[in-house]
Amino acid sequence: MTNDLWLEAKNISCFKNEYEVVKDLNLKLKYSENVIMIGPNGSGKSSLLELINRNIYPVLKKDTVFKLFNKGHISIWELRKKISTVNQDVKARVNANITVFDLIISGLYGKYCKILNKSEKDVLLAENLINKMLITKLSQRYFSHLSEGEKQIVLIARALVKNPEILILDEPIANLDLKSKFYVIDQINELTRLNTKIICVTHDISMITEIYNRVIMMKDRIIIADGTQSETINGKILSILFDINIEVAKYKGYWHVYRKAKELQSIE
């Protein structure tokens, strides 16, 4: 059975400026999974997302397979309906002086500015989502006046308003202070109440919460570990992943990383 898969990639390579940014990728992603993709800087996470979003294309080889939503060829228009992505670029595109409510509605039109002549149906969709995500207090505020954590949640709401099948979150807690970071992590965890499945890309272990039933670890543009949290998250694998001697422990439901003492590092 392959129709429980929304992504199927076999023997995929992609190049940018003659550099192989995706290397012999073999990956299947199921509709039932929330996935966390973790890896150090330059490990190829963004390139993999670009492949999924069809911003870069695989090199055709003899036994290459690349299917999205069970189709070898899917139009960008159809893909954008099924996958929403929130990354740092998105924030930069938001128009100045737009309210949260108008910004969320703009997601239905693939825009970042106030939509004039929005329909009653659009307004209802936005209102329902705002209620579900418990962000009614933010609704009439200007986006530019929000904290960085609140901005991130609003951009996630904007991405979700079109009810995509997959939500890609690229480094959702990058550059956030501790309070904002926990706020965003908690809000993302609440999204499991919606139908959309999540792929979250990060290099921060504290993002790995219980909602993720699959962990994919990338290093040097290759998947080096892929499985459940108990199969993949341990000191040995994470030390290899980040090239640093670390231990990891779960405390009160969250993963924590500890750097090994210098003496221990030299013995091992």
Please answer whether residues 98 and 113 qualify as being in contact, where contact means their C-beta atoms are separated by less than 8 angstroms: yes
Nearer to ligand ATP, 216 or 233 (CB): 216
> For tokens 């870069």, what's the residue?
56
To ligand ATP, the closest distance from the beta carbon of 218 in angstroms equals 6
Nearer to ligand ATP, 55 or 128 (CB): 55
To ligand ATP, the closest distance from the beta carbon of 50 in angstroms equals 7
Nearer to ligand ATP, 45 or 197 (CB): 45
Q: Which of 62, 60, 51 minimizes the C-alpha distance to 7?
A: 51
To ligand ATP, the closest distance from the beta carbon of 184 in angstroms equals 18
DSSP string, 77-110: HHHHHHEEEE-HHHHHHSPTT-BHHHHHHHGGGT
To ligand ATP, the closest distance from the beta carbon of 170 in angstroms equals 8
Residues ≥6 apart with Cβ < 8 Å to 111: none
| Angstrom distance (rounded) from CA 65 to CA 53 | 16
Q: Which of 38, 44, 71, 42 minimizes the C-alpha distance to 56?
A: 44
Nearer to ligand ATP, 38 or 94 (CB): 38
For β-strands 197-202 and 35-38, DSSP reports them as parallel
To ligand ATP, the closest distance from the beta carbon of 97 in angstroms equals 30
To ligand ATP, the closest distance from the beta carbon of 203 in angstroms equals 6
Nearer to ligand ATP, 46 or 95 (CB): 46
To ligand ATP, the closest distance from the beta carbon of 35 in angstroms equals 15
To ligand ATP, the closest distance from the beta carbon of 202 in angstroms equals 9
* Residues of the chain by 3-state class (helix, strand, coil), percent to 5: 35, 30, 35
Question: Which positions touch ligand ATP (CB under 6 A)?
Answer: 16-17, 19, 21, 39, 41-47, 203, 221
Residue ranges of alpha helices (H) inside 170-234 are: 178-190, 229-232
Nearer to ligand ATP, 42 or 110 (CB): 42
Nearer to ligand ATP, 115 or 174 (CB): 174
| Angstrom distance (rounded) from CA 254 to CA 258 | 13
Nearer to ligand ATP, 11 or 46 (CB): 46
Please answer whether residues 22 and 44 qualify as being in contact, where contact means their C-beta atoms are separated by less than 8 angstroms: yes
Token readout for 131 is 């209620």
Q: Which of 55, 58, 78 minimizes the C-alpha distance to 6?
A: 78
